[in-house]
Amino acid sequence: MMPILIFIICLAILIIIHELGHFLVAKKNGIKVEEFGIGLPPRIWGVKKGETIYSINALPFGGFVKIYGENGEHIDEERSFSAKKPGVRAKVLAAGVIMNLIFGIFLLMIGFNIGVPAVVTEETIPNMKDIKLAVLEVQKDSPAELAGLKMGDYILEVFYNNEDKILNPKVEDLQNFTKKYAGKELNLKIERGKEILEIKAVAREGIEAEEKGALGIVISDTGLLKYSFFRSLWEGLKNGLMMFVNVFISLFIFLKSLIVEGQMIGEVAGPVGIVALGSNIVKNGIGYLLQFLATLSIYLSAINLIPFPALDGARIFSILIEKIRGKAIPAKTENLINSIGFVLLMGLFVFVTFNDIMKLVK
């Protein structure tokens, strides 16, 4: 229960960071902010300082900022969002995206300095420690699944009849061992969280082993990647920006597959799936949690920049159209488009949440 609670709090912080970006830039540009809320209504507690209500709300899922005139109203009032120049409005809208990106990069910098999990490569191995053989995927109905092996386990030792034994095996070691003892029952000593367990699995043999793998697992040599202070700053910045660009491009490919081809929807993880995954990651230590939260924060920044109705990217895109046309899109039209987009997003939200629950039940 505690890992789930910790992760929900961390997830809420990412959303609050996003809203804080909108809040700070709006204030800096003289726009009236009516409320800055932690959590979602109904309101539990609130205090008004100056012109802004600072509130704590009942639903602990992120936060919100209520900006005066954000939906096209009060256009004749100087401190209204709608009355500001296009450039100022674009800065306010982009601030949430930028805050999530900066926060994600910051978390990566910290992670690279204290050590984050990574796959062993020629480039990373000089800066790695605690190298172990990690289970990245377990195939359904495979010898590994039947034996109880799970994604995230580390294989510390493999042996047969207490005779032939390999300590701290690498990928190639395990592959050769399962070929040597195809069809035989092997003992695997594994690390799962803070537990050390021993399981037995019968390696496949023949054509089935060649086609599906001897144990039916995807494995990789992984370890903790740790850099010096100044190197970690550079690696965090570089990896964060690369991740942002890759995610942004991947999202367009995903939307094309989703809208045009109707594919991939079953692979989308919703809030339940993310919390379930995140709570497991919390158990593995701070390095894993930092890396996962950094990735989520950068994903949030990229998702919000997509020009899909109801997202910040769509509103920035409408400001760009306004600059090109020389006049704004009518507020009623823009609000209608954003409302439709919001309904579609909520539909996707409900679908993937249901999908997550079904996966957990199964």
List, by residue number, the catalytic residues. Answer: 19
Query: 87 vs 81, 83, 84, CA distance in Å?
Result: 11, 12, 8
Taking phi over 0 as left and psi of -120 to 50 as alpha, with beta for the rest, 183 belongs to left
Alpha-carbon distance of 56 to 38, in angstroms, equals 5
Give the CA dihedral 264, 60, 11, 340, nearest 10 degrees.
40
CB 243 within 8 Å of CB 111:
no
Residue with tokens 């809320």: 37
Which runs of consecutive H residues, i.e. helices, occur in 115-261? 143-147, 171-180, 206-212, 229-256
Asked if 95 and 27 count as a contact pair (C-beta separation under 8 A), the reply is no
Centroid of chain to Cα 271: 10
Residue (of 163, 160, 173, 161) closest to 132 by Cα position: 173
CB 272 within 8 A of CB 1: no
Burial 118-145, CB ≥16 within 10 A → b, else e: bebeeeeeebbeeebbbbeebeeebbbb
Helix 331-361, helix 312-325: angle, nearest 10 = 160
